[in-house]
């Protein structure tokens, strides 16, 4: 200790002459740019998936019903719920912002809020108006900061060069490791379930993939979809269009994960896992058409113990999956496995039996307690342009059926396809393969009214078609199938499309007639839609039934105006496998309900 | 580290050995060998620093794992000595005479896990939970959620909806989606 | 011995010890008085009390009582997914929360086999040093305050507030930063951060100049602090003593040097040590360590890569499972060795998390030893010199 130690502290006096350092106006001090303050939510961007709630470790977030707010409605892809935050619990960690699937949830830099009532500190951001709603500063998820992987695990596929000269299946299927990684991306929100026509328990079976519990997964699949192996390969996967992950990345590969489950369980174990039929009830049902709708209903009803007979005009079951979808997308074997499984539930199959010719409707009505019409859409629609009656102008559906039936078609040197849907892609790609096999050269032109961005086909189909050297020309209106002097078809004359629909959204295409092209083709294939062949019903029944613009009219359960007759599948819902499965289920439920009702009346 | 462990292995009958990092290893030792091993590590091998002493409840195996983490600050490496104790006779010899500070750890383990260390100073005195009568709370079978639900009242006005269930209710209430 | 220097008799044998080693204190004799200091104790950042038995104005026995801040974090974490643990760990130590974030994140990364980007390491080190400065500034105010010098606390609080501004602009929060998460850090440095940090560092240095003149070169402070709370270097291992308490006793142990983590192997520094091992020596070690942190921040900002990712690719955190394993991660915080012992069992939740805070040993076994024969008025000063943050004792 020294004199210095006595004097040195007097240095403190210098602060007498210093400006105060405290903030003059503490009430209006703005917080920093990335400050984590009160939440904001862009409610129109928000889809109410509840992932914010799932990650909140404080339990501060509730998903609540919001009514009467513009832009918020329960619809496919949006639960209509919105997060409400309890600031008695929130710890401002912003994990909810980091995990938000749409980036709708952010934080402002506002931190002052005074109330007397503690229960006021609970509000629905974006719905309950707050003064910081439009504040730009505050925490937003930084670029590259993700709490889940945004990119899909790529599916192993054959390269175009490897696949173009054969009908070998293109898609290879995920390995266990790949499937787990893909399943891991799912946030288990369940938004997709409403979009699936048959409401498969998607998050649950994806969880089964994550856990590696494939038997549990298979049970979940077959409880809701007896066409799971087929849907695992060719489902239109509408679920993926509403997947929460699609907003800020790739949707989960739901279809491929379903496929993966079906591939991981040995086929011999399927039936034990799924379970056999209940004891026989003595009730009899006839089903016309062995496609997805008919066979789904057959599966459901047979498992209940009813006696089910399926009448199929062709030699194999599967309907459009068997005769409409090319083998490179769906091998025969997959279909056969599916059908065998359904038949094993005790379904009696009558192949090569055309109702109306080999057996009459009336007979079926007499012999059964219920009849289901699941006859699909087997008549191709035509363009009715001049020259469309030429023998080398085909309907896509007819050609596809002939190819799948094993007929050795001699492919034309060149071909034009009219249409931009999946069927158009299927025929274009099938004939391209035949051309490659037979001639070594591909010459297929595909024209459609729509521009490429609005094609009805799956984008993957379009991408793969281009890879396979299909010449896609969009926005072309077909005008004439042109033949030369000898009557040989030479190609399709088309005009440039200006618009497809009029102001009232009615189909009324307009063209630029000065932009005319001739697309060379020895064949022209029309792939612009299909309709049902209802001639089997006979005049009397056709007269009795109610119709809606050419389609058989049914109620929500597929019940026609006749008490004994139901209808399901493409012929009532339009072409889509998984929708057909859904209607198959609902008619089965409806038929079952009718039986129970009758039983109750008799008792 | 590797050589040290091999030497120890033969001398102290270590049953498990995991080299977690270049400078961190875990070994498992029997109850009889624990004290000689700790003494050896402290006095002969330079592991003079008792970093921590804690327990892990492997309730499914009916075992408490005690972890004595020793550090050699000069060499910058650590050894976690693990001892498996039957859960139903949870009692262990005290090491407060090797490291006086161990008494605090042992007192906490007694309170939080119900593992007794007879002879350890003040081991039965309340440490953190004065007046606690329930199960020792760090045991796996003590359910914190249940305890909190029984002890505290939830704030009114909180309810939440599951998005998928709510969508079913709104969009397809009559359809059966579970088979 | 410190006591000898003050000319006191060694009264550690008074009162008598019973055969079992406990003190034979007969409260009815009128010689002794029980005195509770706490739980709002002048010498502690947080709530803790000391049950003193005094004889005259001299402490004959002191027992530490904790539990006022127990929230059962370690148990709570067993019910939370790995990502959900991230926001709660910082609460285990209020004035210097970042070590919890770092140790937890590093433990998870090690067991999950996750490699973090280079730049994230630099930003983590930056944050840890910023936190150290704040912790020391708070300590200096407390140490001076325990001896009646209120003004020091006002100055250091001002400097700390400037550093909190830097925390706010970098991490988005002032106290609980929640910025270091498994996989890296949330974001890069904001635009112009270096310049503003430099201004803050200069202000910290200016403040410390004043603190040096008024606190360390102060006859009153010296009279109270020199010789008080002597820690025998031999106790360092016996009592698990780490950090400035050990370094004040001349034991040059600093995890940053002994087991370099993050980027400390690329920084130029030497552990700060003292010799006298009393309250004054420890305060001075911390003051110099604070200045070293100022220097380290300058080094970090100049050596840090300008570009690069700050976050590794995480698996979907909602289903994140980590294989069975265990590890221990430590860092050198302002009070000594801070560590996380993490045990995983292959599930999505930690099986066990054990937090080793330096206060655990310092404020319990060590304090109870040092407090004997201390004058009542010196108890607060002694306790502060161990730099105790009670929540890390009871967690």
- Give pLDDT, residue C43: 57
Same domain? For A497 and A407 the reply is: yes
- Give pLDDT, residue A143: 86
Contact C67 B51 (CB under 8 A): no
Q: How far is C353 from chain A (nearest CA, A)?
A: 17
Closest residue in C to B128 (Cα–Cα): C67
Contact C238 B26 (CB under 8 A): no
Same domain? For A241 and A310 the reply is: no
Contact A99 C317 (CB under 8 A): yes
A534 lies in some domain: no
Q: With bands split at pLDDT 50, 70 and 90, how would you rate the model's confidence at A75?
A: very high
Contact between A521 and A445 (Cβ < 8 Å): yes
Contact A64 B172 (CB under 8 A): no
Query: How confident is the model over B42-57, as a mean pLDDT?
Result: 92
Q: Tokens at residue A44, please?
A: 């129109």
Q: With bands split at pLDDT 50, 70 and 90, how would you rate the model's confidence at B89?
A: confident
This model's pTM is above 0.90 = no
Contact residues, chain C, for A148 at CB < 8 Å: 314-318
Per-residue pLDDT for B87 more than 80? Answer: yes
Residue C280, CA distances (Å) to A539, C75, C150, C221, C231 in order: 109, 38, 17, 8, 12
To the nearest 10°, report the CA torsion of A391, A394, A397, A403: 70
C30 or A148, higher pLDDT: A148
Same domain? For A76 and A196 the reply is: no
Boundary (domain end) residue, out of A236, A255, A273: A273
Same domain? For A423 and A504 the reply is: yes
pLDDT 10s digits, C67-92? 888 888 999 999 999 999 999 999 98
Can you tell me the distance from the alpha carbon of C279 to that of B89, in angstroms, rounded to the nearest whole number? 45
C269 or C21, higher pLDDT: C269
pLDDT 10s digits, A175-208? 999 999 999 999 999 999 999 999 999 999 999 9
Closest residue in C to A188 (Cα–Cα): C318
Contact between A480 and A494 (Cβ < 8 Å): no
Residue (of A400, A430, C233, C148) closest to B73 by Cα position: C233
How many secondary structure helices (H) and strands (E) does chain A include?
Answer: 21, 22
A426 lies in some domain: yes
Same domain? For A409 and A435 the reply is: yes
Q: With bands split at pLDDT 50, 70 and 90, how would you rate the model's confidence at C393?
A: confident
Contact residues, chain A, for B175 at CB < 8 Å: 199, 586
Per-residue pLDDT for C365 more than 60? Answer: yes
A140 lies in some domain: no
Q: Tokens at residue A283, please?
A: 């009730």
Per-residue pLDDT for C25 more than 90? Answer: no
- Give pLDDT, residue B117: 92
Q: With bands split at pLDDT 50, 70 and 90, how would you rate the model's confidence at A601?
A: confident
Lowest-pLDDT choice from A328-337, A475-484, C48-57, C98-107: C48-57
A235 lies in some domain: yes
Contact residues, chain A, for B165 at CB < 8 Å: 190
Same domain? For A344 and A427 the reply is: no
The Cβ-side half-sphere exposure at B116, using a 13 Å CA radius, reads 7
Contact residues, chain A, for B159 at CB < 8 Å: 62, 64
- Give pLDDT, residue B177: 47
C265 lies in some domain: yes
Lowest-pLDDT choice from A296-300, A385-389, A419-423, A598-602: A598-602
C134 or B131, higher pLDDT: C134
Per-residue pLDDT for C11 more than 60? Answer: no
A24 lies in some domain: no
A182 lies in some domain: yes
Per-residue pLDDT for C247 more than 50? Answer: yes
C381 lies in some domain: no
Contact A35 C314 (CB under 8 A): no
A21 lies in some domain: no
What range does the domain containing A44 cover?
A: 31-123
C60 lies in some domain: no
A336 lies in some domain: yes
Q: Tokens at residue A77, please?
A: 């892809």
- Give pLDDT, residue C8: 52
Share of chain C above pLDDT 90, in %: 62
Q: How far is C281 from chain B (nearest CA, A)?
A: 22
Q: With bands split at pLDDT 50, 70 and 90, how would you rate the model's confidence at C101?
A: very high
Same domain? For A386 and A520 the reply is: yes
Count, residues in chain B: 179
Contact residues, chain A, for B168 at CB < 8 Å: 193-194, 199
CATH number of the domain encompassing residue A443: 3.50.50.60
Per-residue pLDDT for A122 more than 70? Answer: yes
Can you tell me the distance from the alpha carbon of B162 to that of B171, in angstroms, rounded to the nearest whole number? 14
Closest residue in A to B168 (Cα–Cα): A194
pLDDT 10s digits, C271-296? 999 999 999 999 999 999 999 999 99
C374 lies in some domain: no
Same domain? For A266 and A280 the reply is: no
ipTM over 0.85: yes
- Give pLDDT, residue B79: 93
Contact C361 B101 (CB under 8 A): yes
Any idea what DSSP says for residue B109? H
C243 lies in some domain: yes
Closest residue in C to B67 (Cα–Cα): C341
Share of chain A above pLDDT 90, in %: 70
CATH number of the domain encompassing residue A185: 1.10.1060.10
Region of A280 please: left (phi>0), alpha (psi -120 to 50) or beta: beta
- Give pLDDT, residue C255: 92
Mutation choice for C interface testing from A16, A20, A93, A188 by most C CBs within 10 A: A93
pLDDT 10s digits, C223-238? 999 989 899 998 898 8
C380 lies in some domain: no
pLDDT 10s digits, A149-174? 889 999 998 999 889 888 999 999 99
Per-residue pLDDT for C208 more than 90? Answer: yes
| Mean pLDDT score of chain A | 91
Q: With bands split at pLDDT 50, 70 and 90, how would you rate the model's confidence at C7?
A: very low
Contact A35 C173 (CB under 8 A): yes
Q: What is the CA radius of gyration of chain C?
A: 22
Contact residues, chain B, for C76 at CB < 8 Å: 144
Q: Tokens at residue A204, please?
A: 């649950």
- Total count of domains within chain A: 4
Same domain? For A215 and A82 the reply is: no
- Give pLDDT, residue A263: 94
Phi first, then psi, for residue C312 (nearest 5°) are: -75, 165
- Total count of domains within chain C: 1
CATH number of the domain encompassing residue C255: 1.10.645.10
**Which residues lie across from A559 on neighbouring strands?**
A566
| Mean pLDDT score of chain C | 89
Using the Cβ of C214 and the Cβ atoms of chain A, whether some distance falls under 8 Å is answered with: yes
Contact C188 A9 (CB under 8 A): no
Can you tell me the distance from the alpha carbon of B63 to that of B51, in angstroms, rounded to the nearest whole number? 23
Nearest to B167 among A64, A74, A203 (CB): A74
- Give pLDDT, residue C2: 44
- Give pLDDT, residue A16: 87
Residue A61, CA distances (Å) to A67, A91, A122, A432, C379 in order: 18, 11, 9, 55, 46
Closest residue in C to A52 (Cα–Cα): C318
Contact residues, chain A, for C88 at CB < 8 Å: 57, 91
Same domain? For A258 and A171 the reply is: yes
Domains of chain B: 2-154 (3.30.460.80)
**Which residues lie across from A350 on neighbouring strands?**
A311
Contact A33 C190 (CB under 8 A): yes
Same domain? For A391 and A518 the reply is: yes
Chains that touch B (3 or more CB pairs under 8 A): A, C
Contact A193 B164 (CB under 8 A): yes
Per-residue pLDDT for A506 more than 50? Answer: yes
C73 lies in some domain: no
What range does the domain containing C333 cover?
A: 81-356
Per-residue pLDDT for B155 more than 60? Answer: yes
Same domain? For A509 and A411 the reply is: yes
Q: Tokens at residue C373, please?
A: 């024969």
C115 lies in some domain: yes
Boundary (domain end) residue, out of A273, A304, A322: A273
Contact between A372 and A294 (Cβ < 8 Å): yes
Q: With bands split at pLDDT 50, 70 and 90, how would you rate the model's confidence at B176?
A: low
Mutation choice for B interface testing from A56, A67, A193, A239 by most B CBs within 10 A: A193
Q: Which residues 6+ apart lie within 8 Å of A68 measured at CB? A: none
């Amino acid at each position: 200790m020294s004199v210095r130690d006595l004097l040195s502290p007097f240095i403190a006096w210098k602060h007498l002459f210093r400006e105060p350092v405290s903030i003059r106006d503490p009430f209006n001090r703005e917080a920093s740019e990335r400050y984590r303050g009160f939440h904001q939510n862009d409610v129109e961007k928000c889809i109410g998936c509840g992932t914010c709630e799932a990650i909140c470790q404080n339990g501060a977030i509730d998903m609540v019903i919001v009514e009467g707010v513009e832009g918020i409605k329960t619809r496919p892809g949006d639960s209509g719920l919105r997060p409400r935050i309890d600031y008695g619990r929130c710890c401002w960690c912003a994990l909810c912002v980091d995990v938000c699937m749409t980036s709708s949830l952010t934080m402002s830099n506002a931190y002052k809020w005074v109330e007397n009532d503690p229960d006021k500190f609970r509000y629905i951001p974006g719905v309950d108006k707050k003064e910081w709603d439009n504040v730009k500063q505050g925490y937003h998820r930084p670029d590259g900061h993700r709490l889940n992987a945004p990119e899909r695990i790529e599916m192993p596929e054959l390269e175009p060069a490897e696949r173009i000269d054969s009908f070998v299946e293109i898609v290879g299927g995920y390995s266990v490791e790949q499937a787990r990684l893909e399943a891991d991306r799912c946030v288990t929100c369940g938004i997709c379930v409403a979009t699936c026509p048959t409401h498969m328990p998607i998050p649950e079976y994806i969880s089964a993939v994550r856990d590696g519990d494939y038997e549990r997964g298979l049970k979940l699949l077959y409880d809701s979809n007896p066409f799971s192996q087929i849907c695992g390969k060719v489902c239109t996967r509408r679920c993926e269009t509403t997947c929460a992950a699609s907003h800020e990345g790739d949707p989960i590969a739901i279809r491929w994960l379903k496929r993966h489950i079906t591939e991981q369980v040995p086929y011999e174990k399927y039936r034990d896992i799924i379970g056999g039929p209940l004891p026989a009830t003595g009730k009899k049902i006839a089903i016309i058409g062995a496609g997805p709708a008919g066979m789904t209903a057959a599966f459901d009803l047979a498992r209940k113990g009813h006696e089910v007979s399926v009448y199929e005009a062709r030699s194999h079951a599967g309907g459009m999956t068997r005769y409409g979808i090319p083998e490179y997308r769906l091998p025969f074997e997959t279909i056969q496995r599916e059908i065998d499984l359904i038949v094993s539930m005790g379904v009696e199959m009558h192949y090569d039996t055309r109702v109306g010719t080999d057996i009459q409707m009336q007979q079926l009505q007499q012999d059964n307690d219920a009849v289901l019409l699941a006859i699909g859409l087997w008549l191709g629609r035509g363009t009715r342009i001049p020259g469309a009656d030429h023998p080398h102008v085909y309907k896509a559906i007819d050609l596809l059926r002939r190819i799948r039936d094993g007929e050795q078609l001699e492919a034309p040197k060149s071909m034009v396809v009219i249409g931009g849907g999946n069927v158009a892609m299927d025929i274009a790609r099938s004939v391209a393969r035949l051309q490659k096999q037979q001639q070594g050269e591909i010459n297929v032109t595909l024209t459609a009214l729509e521009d490429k961005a609005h094609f009805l086909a799956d984008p993957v189909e379009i991408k793969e078609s281009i890879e396979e050297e299909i010449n896609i020309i969009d926005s072309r209106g077909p005008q004439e199938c042109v033949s030369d002097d000898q009557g040989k078809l030479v190609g399709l004359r088309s005009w440039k499309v200006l618009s497809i629909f009029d102001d009232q959204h009615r189909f009324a295409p307009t063209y630029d007639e000065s932009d005319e092209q001739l697309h060379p083709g020895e064949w022209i294939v029309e792939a612009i839609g299909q309709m049902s062949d209802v001639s089997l019903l006979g005049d009397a029944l056709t007269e009795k039934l109610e119709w809606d613009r050419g389609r058989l009219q049914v109620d929500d359960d597929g019940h026609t105006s006749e008490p004994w007759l139901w209808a399901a599948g493409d012929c009532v819902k339009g072409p889509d496998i998984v929708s057909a499965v859904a209607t198959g289920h609902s008619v089965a439920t409806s038929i079952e309900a009718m039986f129970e009702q009758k039983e109750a009346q008799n008792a | 580290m590797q050589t040290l462990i091999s030497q120890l292995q033969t001398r102290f009958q270590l049953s498990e050995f995991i080299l977690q990092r270049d400078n961190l290893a875990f070994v498992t030792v029997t109850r009889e060998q624990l004290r000689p091993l700790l003494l050896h590590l402290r006095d002969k091998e330079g592991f003079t620093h008792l970093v921590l002493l804690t327990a892990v409840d492997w309730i499914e195996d009916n075992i408490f794992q005690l972890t004595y983490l020793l550090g050699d600050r000069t060499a910058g490496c650590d050894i976690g000595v693990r001892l498996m104790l039957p859960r139903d006779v949870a009692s262990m010899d005290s090491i407060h005479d090797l490291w006086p500070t161990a008494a605090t750890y042992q007192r906490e383990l007694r309170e939080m896990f119900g593992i007794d260390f007879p002879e350890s100073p003040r081991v039965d005195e309340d440490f953190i939970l004065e007046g606690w009568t329930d199960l020792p709370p760090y045991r796996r079978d003590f359910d914190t959620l249940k305890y909190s639900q029984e002890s505290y009242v939830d704030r009114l006005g909180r309810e939440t909806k599951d998005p998928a269930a709510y969508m079913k209710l709104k969009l397809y209430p009559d359809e059966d989606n579970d088979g | 011995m410190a006591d000898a220097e003050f000319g006191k008799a060694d009264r550690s044998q008074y009162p008598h010890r019973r055969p079992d080693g406990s003190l034979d204190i007969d409260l009815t004799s009128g010689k002794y008085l029980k005195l509770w200091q706490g739980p709002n104790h002048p010498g502690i950042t947080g709530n803790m009390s000391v049950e003193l038995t005094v004889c005259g104005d001299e402490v004959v026995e002191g027992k530490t009582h904790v539990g006022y801040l127990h929230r059962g974090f370690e148990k709570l974490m067993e019910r939370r997914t790995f990502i959900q643990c991230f926001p709660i760990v910082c609460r285990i130590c209020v004035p210097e929360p970042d070590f919890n974030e770092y140790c937890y994140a590093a433990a998870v990364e090690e067991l999950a086999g996750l490699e973090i980007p280079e730049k994230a390491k630099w930003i983590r080190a930056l944050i840890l040093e910023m936190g150290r400065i704040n912790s020391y500034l708070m300590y200096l105010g407390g140490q001076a305050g325990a001896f009646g010098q209120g003004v020091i606390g006002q100055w250091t609080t001002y400097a700390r507030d400037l550093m909190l501004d830097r925390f706010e602009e970098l991490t988005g929060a002032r106290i609980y930063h929640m910025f270091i998460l498994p996989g890296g850090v949330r974001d890069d440095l904001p635009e112009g951060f270096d310049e503003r940090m430099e201004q803050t560092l200069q202000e910290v240095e200016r403040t410390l100049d004043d603190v040096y003149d008024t606190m360390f070169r102060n006859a009153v402070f010296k009279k109270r602090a020199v010789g008080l709370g002597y820690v025998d270097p031999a106790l360092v291992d016996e009592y698990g003593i780490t950090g400035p308490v050990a370094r004040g006793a001349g034991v040059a142990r600093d995890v940053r040097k002994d087991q370099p983590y993050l980027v400390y192997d690329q920084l130029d520094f030497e552990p700060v040590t003292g010799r006298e091992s009393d309250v004054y020596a420890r305060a001075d070690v911390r003051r110099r360590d604070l200045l070293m942190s100022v220097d380290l921040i300058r080094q970090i900002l100049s050596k840090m890569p300008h570009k690069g990712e700050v976050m590794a690719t995480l698996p979907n955190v909602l289903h994140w499972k980590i294989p069975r394993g265990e590890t221990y991660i430590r860092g050198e915080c302002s009070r000594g060795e801070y560590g996380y012992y993490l045990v995983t069992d292959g599930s999505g939740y930690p099986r066990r998390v054990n937090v080793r805070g330096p206060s655990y040993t310092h404020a319990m076994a060590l304090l109870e030893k040092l407090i004997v024969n201390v004058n009542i008025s010196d108890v607060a000063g002694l306790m502060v010199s161990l730099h105790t943050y009670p929540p890390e004792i009871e967690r």
